[in-house]
Amino acid sequence: MTDVALALADCQAKGLIRFVGTTNMDTAALAKIVDAGVDVAVNQVQFSLLDRRPLNGMLQYCGERGIKLFTYGSVGGGLLSDKYDEQPRSGLFGKPQYTPVDLNTSSLKMYWNVVKQFGGQELWRELLGVLRRVADKHGVSMANVSLRWVMQQGDGATVHPIVGLRGTSHIADNARTLSFSLDAADMAALGAVLGRASGPRGDAYSFERGG
């Protein structure tokens, strides 16, 4: 891994590439590359309200060294968007019932696994409820709030979400993420739910590696 990074650094020195970036490196692996003398510009990791593992050392490390975090999964493949906002029906013994989540892509299956580690469907639904209230307060979408939360972590300049686009409507919606900021009350409301989450634990990409 370090040898590959050093080879890329050599290409950079020769003007063949402009920057060196990494993907899904944990803090220890990234530090090993940096300590070898590679000027890493960015590390791409999963980071969302559901998956806050970059807060366990990675964000601080990158912030102190000017390394940007390009984050994927910041709306959980749509699981942190208006798409899953619904009022429950009354089920057996008054237990709320929701439309089953159609895990019809490998991406959704991956993010659903994160939901299960986060605390399961009930805590996820509770988080959606808070996202709805915060979004309505600012006149934006739930996805906007999800992205904004990630962007405001650390110094507010280190984290840059990667967002997917399936149509022109998504361009306009994503742009609204830049039109507002989450205030202390918003962060506290979201934090009250996050404080009861059980995971995921560890560093970036830890459980995917079996760690």
- 78-118 pLDDT, tens digit per residue, is 999 999 999 888 877 778 889 999 999 999 999 999 999 99
**Is the pLDDT confidence value at 8 over 90?**
yes
Least confident of 15-24, 76-85, 162-171: 162-171
DSSP-based three-state secondary structure for 158: coil
Q: Are strands 159-161 and 40-46 parallel, antiparallel or unpaired?
A: unpaired
**Is the pLDDT confidence value at 161 over 90?**
yes
Break the chain into its structural domains and give their ranges.
1-202
Asked if 57 and 50 count as a contact pair (C-beta separation under 8 A), the reply is no
**Is the pLDDT confidence value at 77 over 90?**
yes
For residues 24-44, average pLDDT = 98
Q: How many CB atoms lie within 10 A of CB 97?
A: 10
Here the tokens at position 77 are 């493949």
Q: Would you say the pTM of this structure is higher than 0.75?
A: yes
Q: How many CB atoms lie within 10 A of CB 207?
A: 16
Residue 59's contacts (CB-CB under 8 Å, 6 or more residues apart) are 69, 153, 154, 158, 159
**Is the pLDDT confidence value at 169 over 80?**
no
Here the tokens at position 168 are 């022109």
Asked if 22 and 44 count as a contact pair (C-beta separation under 8 A), the reply is yes
pLDDT band at 124; cut points 50, 70, 90: very high
- Give pLDDT, residue 11: 98
The CA–CA distances, whole Å, from 111 to 7, 134, 144 equal: 33, 22, 18
Q: How many CB atoms lie within 10 A of CB 26?
A: 21
Share of the chain above pLDDT 70, in %: 100
Determine the topology of domain 1-202 in CATH. Answer: TIM Barrel (3.20.20)
**Is the pLDDT confidence value at 165 over 90?**
no
- Give pLDDT, residue 210: 81
For residues 62-77, average pLDDT = 97
Asked if 208 and 51 count as a contact pair (C-beta separation under 8 A), the reply is no
- Give pLDDT, residue 126: 97
**Is the pLDDT confidence value at 172 over 80?**
yes
**Is the pLDDT confidence value at 203 over 70?**
yes
Using alpha carbons only, what angle is made at residue 178 by residues 53 and 159, rounded to the nearest 5 degrees? 25
- Give pLDDT, residue 211: 65
For residues 37-47, average pLDDT = 98
State how far the Cα of 42 lies from the Cα of 158, in Å rounded to an integer.
9
Place of tokens 């309505």: 136
